[in-house]
Structure 1
Amino acid sequence: MVDQFTNTFLGFERDCKRGVFGRVKHYYGVFEAQNRGSLHLHMVIWIEGALSPKLIQERAMADESFKHQLFLWLESVIKHELPSDTSPLASESKARQKQCLLGRPPHPDHPDFPSIWPQFLREVLDASGHVHKHNDTCFKKTPFSMLSLEPNDRDRLCRFNYPSPLVPESSMNDNGKISLKRIDENVVGYNPTISSSFQCNTDVKFVGSGPFAMALAIYMSHYAAKSTLDSALIMSALAAAMKSLQSNNTTLHSPAVSEDEERCRKLLLKTLNQINGRRELSGQQVACALLGISNHVTDAQFAVFYWSKLLTWTSPTIFPPYQPKLKPDEIFVGQATRFLI
Structure 2
Amino acid sequence: GVFGRVKHYYGVIEAQNHGSLHLHILIWLEGALSPRQIQDKVTNDGIFQNRLFSWLDSIFLRELPPNTYPADSLQNRNCILNRPPHPDSDNFEEIWSQFLREVLDASGQSHSHSNTCFKKISCSMSLLTLNERNKLCCFDYPIDLAPETFMDDDGKIHFQRTDGKVVAYNALVSGSMQCNTDGKFVGSGAFGMALSIYMSNYTAKASLDSAVIMSALAAATASLRKLEEDLPIDSVQEHC
TM-score range, shorter chain: 0.7 to 0.9
Equivalent of 1:96, from 51, 61, 76? Answer: 76
| Alignment-derived partner of residue 180 in structure 1 | 159
Matched residue of 2:110: which SS?
coil
Asked if 1 retains the 8 angstrom alpha-carbon contact of 2:70 and 2:102, the reply is yes
Q: 1:64 to 1:145 in 2, by over 3 A?
A: same
2:179 corresponds to which residue?
A: 200
2:133 corresponds to which of 144, 154, 157: 154
One-letter identity of the residue aligned with 1:169: E
Matched, 1:222 2:198: yes
1:188-209 Cα shifts (integer Å, max 9, x gaps): 0000000011111111000112
Aligned CA distance change for structure 1 residues 86 and 145 (closer, same or farther; 3 Å): closer
1:42–1:220 Cα contact (<8 Å) kept: no
Letter paired with 1:155: N
1:33: Cα distance to partner?
2.2
Which residue of structure 2 aligns with residue 119 of structure 1? 98
Relative to structure 1, the CA distance from residue 84 to residue 191 in structure 2 (aligned partners, 3 Å threshold; closer, same or farther) is same
**C-alpha deviation, 1:59, in angstroms:** 0.7
Match in the other structure for 2:231: none
| Pair member with larger Rg | 1
Gaps of 5+ in 1: 1-18, 232-275, 287-341
Change (3 A) 1:230 1:46: closer
Comparing 20-29 and 151-160, the one that deviates more: 151-160
What is the identity, as a one-letter code, of the residue corresponding to 2:128?
A: L
- Letter paired with 2:119: K
Question: Separation in 2 of the partners of 1:160 and 1:115?
Answer: 32
CA distance in 2, matches of 1:62, 1:284: 57
Structure 1 residues 228 and 281, CA, compared in 2 at 3 Å: closer, same or farther? farther
Are 1:77 and 2:59 counterparts?
Answer: yes
Aligned equivalent of 1:105: 84
Deviation at 1:225, TM superposition (A): 3.2
Instruction: In structure 1, give the amino acid aligned to 2:4.
Output: G
Hey, what's the Cα distance between the residues in 1 that align with 2:155 and 2:61? Answer: 20
**CA deviation map 1:121-140 (0-9, x unaligned):** 11110111001111111111
SS of the residue 2:22 aligns to: strand
Distance 2:100 2:207 in 1: 40
TM-score normalized by the length of structure 1: 0.59
Counterparts of 1:67 and 1:81, CA distance in 2? 22
Label 1:147 to 1:24 Cα distance change in 2 as closer, same or farther (>3 A). Answer: same
Distance 1:201 1:80, change over 3 A: same
Deviation at 1:220, TM superposition (A): 4.1
Corresponding residue of 1:41: 23
Give the secondary structure class of the aligned counterpart of 1:32: strand
SS at match of 1:282: helix
Residue aligning to 2:223? none
Partner of 1:245: none
Moved over 6 A (4+): none
- Alignment of 1:27 with 2:9, yes or no, is yes
Contact residue 29 and residue 41 of structure 1 kept, 8 A: yes
SS at the partner of 1:206?
coil
Structure 1 position 104, deviation (Å): 0.5
Judging changes above 3 Å, is the alpha-carbon distance between structure 1 residues 129 and 158 closer, same or farther for their aligned structure 2 residues? same
Structure 1 contact 125–131 (Cα < 8 Å) conserved = yes
Q: After TM superposition, give the deviation of residue 115 of structure 1 in Å.
A: 1.6
Identity %: 50
Question: Helix, strand or coil for the counterpart of 1:111?
Answer: coil
Q: Give the residue type in structure 1 aligned to 2:174.
A: S
Question: How many residue pairs end up in the alignment?
Answer: 216
State the alpha-carbon separation in 2 of the partners of residues 280 and 122 from structure 1. Answer: 37
1:62 lines up with 2:62 in the alignment: no
Equivalent pair of 2:150/2:158 in contact (CA under 8 Å): yes
One-letter amino acid of the structure 2 residue matched with residue 110 of structure 1: S
What is the root-mean-square deviation in Å for CA atoms of aligned residues? 2.4
Unaligned runs of 5+ in 2: 218-240
Scaled by the length of structure 2, the TM-score of the pair is 0.82
Q: Which amino acid aligns with 2:142?
A: P
- Write the letter of the residue equivalent to 2:197: S
CA contact (8 A) 1:106 1:117 kept: yes
How far did residue 148 of structure 1 move? 2.3
- The answer on 1:281 being equivalent to 2:212 is yes
